[in-house]
Amino acid sequence: MEFSVKSGSPEKQRTACIVVGVYEPRRLSGVAEQLDKVSEGFISNLLRRGDLEGKSGQMLLLHNVPNVLSERVLLVGCGKERELDERQYKQIIEKTIQTLNDTGSMEAVCFLSELNVKGRDTYWKVRQAIEAAQSSIYAFNHLKTRKDEPRRPLRKLVFNVPSRRELPLGEKAVAHGMAVAKGMNLCRDVANMPPNICTPTYLAEQCSELAERYDSLSFSAVTEQEMEELGMNAYLAVGRGSANESVLSLLHYNGGGDQAPIVLVGKGLTFDSGGLSIKPAANMDEMKYDMGGAASVLGVMQAIAELQLPINVIGALAGCENMPDGRSYRPGDILTTMSGQTVEVLNTDAEGRLVLCDTLTYVERFEPEAVIDIATLTGACVVALGNHASGLMSTHNPLASELLTAAEQSGDRIWRLPLWEEYQTALESPFADMNHLGGREAGAITAGCFLSRFTKKYNWAHLDIAGTAWQSGAKKGATGRPVPLLTQFMINRTAATEQV
């Protein structure tokens, strides 16, 4: 879909449809009042008749409104004006896009970006509207032989801003929103791909194709043979039972000259059976999403390449598959990691941290300014935070603060969990330097504690996205998170650098 911004009067828009808001109870927004005045009370008469109450999500499509150039006017219920918050605004946008698609309006001018959302400016409203719009029309139908698509889908959406002075802000929001939405869709596409197609090699191929599309990106890969030479025994152990070879894919974005890079490490378990500690059969199909961290890194790398940010970023996609086999690693095994530290395996279904620990050691060679790993790591994080917020853990308070700020700005929520020294005792082992599980209590935190032992040489943060990377049920599928959060983090880093 094509997006743009403009500033103009609603009655003068020569388009298929204009979209305006109505508050509860039957109270016109400023733009709707303008239309009502021009149309000599046409809209207010309909509301008095009870055609629309203004409850959030209600829709009323009007044709041939007097003295209005647009073919249609869509009235959108926005609830009570003082209660319109970020969540409700995005829900209204999604419902609006779905309605426009059903009406056959191939283009529209949307005035909902002028609604009063608590504490949010034009940039936020336009950008969030674009991301919500793209999410509402996303469908993974790549492998369907019959694709149900609207006969006349919405192709162009223009957001109106209150004044010409705000056009540059709106244009920036369009650029950022489009890049983020495109990155989210790439993340979704890769994460939704079935595991018989999406293997570690497939992840590497996606990285290679992305690098071919953008001059600022370059691609390289670390094979199993190279991993053996480097002593990445924990990573290799996890993939040993699979017929699909492990591949660590590396995407380099060079936009910042001699700056030290920020490294994003994504857990890329393209399927996680649990290994010998096999998972229950129910919902095991969703374990194709265990590479959600790697998919999000791919999406972020595309977004920053689209925006041409003046920054250096390396994306490391730790591709691997965890399967039961005669060669599989076992509970009780002791592995020597690339760092030289030894780890006692207690459960082969806690495999992600073993792949990540070697990858976190590998990226030391880039002398990074900061490292952020992103992983569908623990069910404990889902129990703690549900599917609304990703878990954040960090050994560096300024980095954690930056991520929390980016989460607030982007609406891609995270919540910080502690990494106090007291939790480290859960990793003690009588046979090795540490165990890798930590027990039932504080499972998300002890997983973070384990990873922290491999990050002493740089500033590090960990995002546990087990609850946010995908959703189950009727709308099952990847969400594209945390692409908005991490792209905003990179935008903020760029802005901070430019101010120095």
- Report the relative pairing of strands 18-23 and 72-77 from DSSP bridges: parallel
Which residues 6+ apart lie within 8 Å of 178 measured at CB?
A: 3, 130, 306
CB 483 within 8 A of CB 410: no
Q: Would you state the structure tokens that stand for residue 82, as one six-digit string? A: 């003082």
Q: How many C-beta neighbours within 10 Å does residue 228 have?
A: 11
- Summarised one tens digit per residue, pLDDT across range 254-282 is 998 899 999 999 999 999 999 999 999 99
| Among the listed residues 264, 307, 315, the one whose alpha carbon sits nearest the alpha carbon of residue 178 | 307
114's CB contacts (< 8 A; 6+ apart) are: 29, 30, 31, 160, 161, 162
Given a cut of 80, whether residue 496 has pLDDT beyond it is no
Cis omega before residue 25 (within 30°)? Answer: yes
Amino acid, single-letter form, for residue 304: I
Kindly report, residue by residue over 125-145, the tens digit of the pLDDT.
Answer: 999 999 999 999 899 988 888
pLDDT band at 498; cut points 50, 70, 90 = low
Distance CA 410, CA 262 (A): 19
Q: What angle do CA 477, 479, 480 make, to 5 degrees?
A: 130
Q: β-strands 247-254, 312-322: how paired?
A: antiparallel
Closest CA to 226 of 250, 209, 202: 250
| CA–CA separation, 222 and 225 (whole Å) | 8
Confidence (pLDDT) at 342 = 98
Rounded CA-CA distance 61/67 in Å is 16
Pair 329, 237: CB distance under 8 Å: yes
Active site residue 156: no
Q: Which tens digit of pLDDT belongs to each residue from 356-407? A: 999 999 999 999 999 999 999 999 999 999 999 999 999 999 999 999 999 9
Asked if 353 is an active-site residue, the reply is yes
Amino acid 144: pLDDT? 87
> What residues are paired with 254 via a beta bridge?
312
The token pair that represents 237 in the structure block: 């152990």
Measuring CA to CA, how many Å separate 151 from each of 102, 107, 147, 154, 348?
9, 14, 11, 10, 49
Element (H, E) at 356: helix 352-362
In this predicted structure, the answer to whether residue 499 has a pLDDT above a threshold of 50 is no
Q: What is the mean pLDDT of residues 418-427?
A: 96
Q: Pick the catalytic residue: 90, 353, 481, 493?
A: 353
Alpha-carbon 119 to chain mean position = 23
- The pLDDT assigned to 500 comes to 37
Quote the pLDDT of residue 232.
98
Instruction: Report the distance separating Cα 263 and Cα 265, nearest Å.
Output: 6
All domains of the chain, ordered by start, with CATH?
2-162 (3.40.220.10), 180-499 (3.40.630.10)
Interatomic CA distance for residues 492 and 121, integer angstroms: 17
Are 463 and 372 within 8 A, CB to CB?
yes
- Among 427, 452, 448, 422, smallest CA distance to 437 is for 427
Are 173 and 122 in contact, with CB atoms under 8 Å apart?
yes
Q: Once rounded to an integer, what is the mean pLDDT over residues 301-316?
A: 97
Task: Select which of 37, 55, 80, 279 is catalytic.
Answer: 279
| 477-478 and 470-471 strand pairing | antiparallel
Residue 348 tokens read as: 């082969």
- What's the mean pLDDT when you consider all of the chain? 94
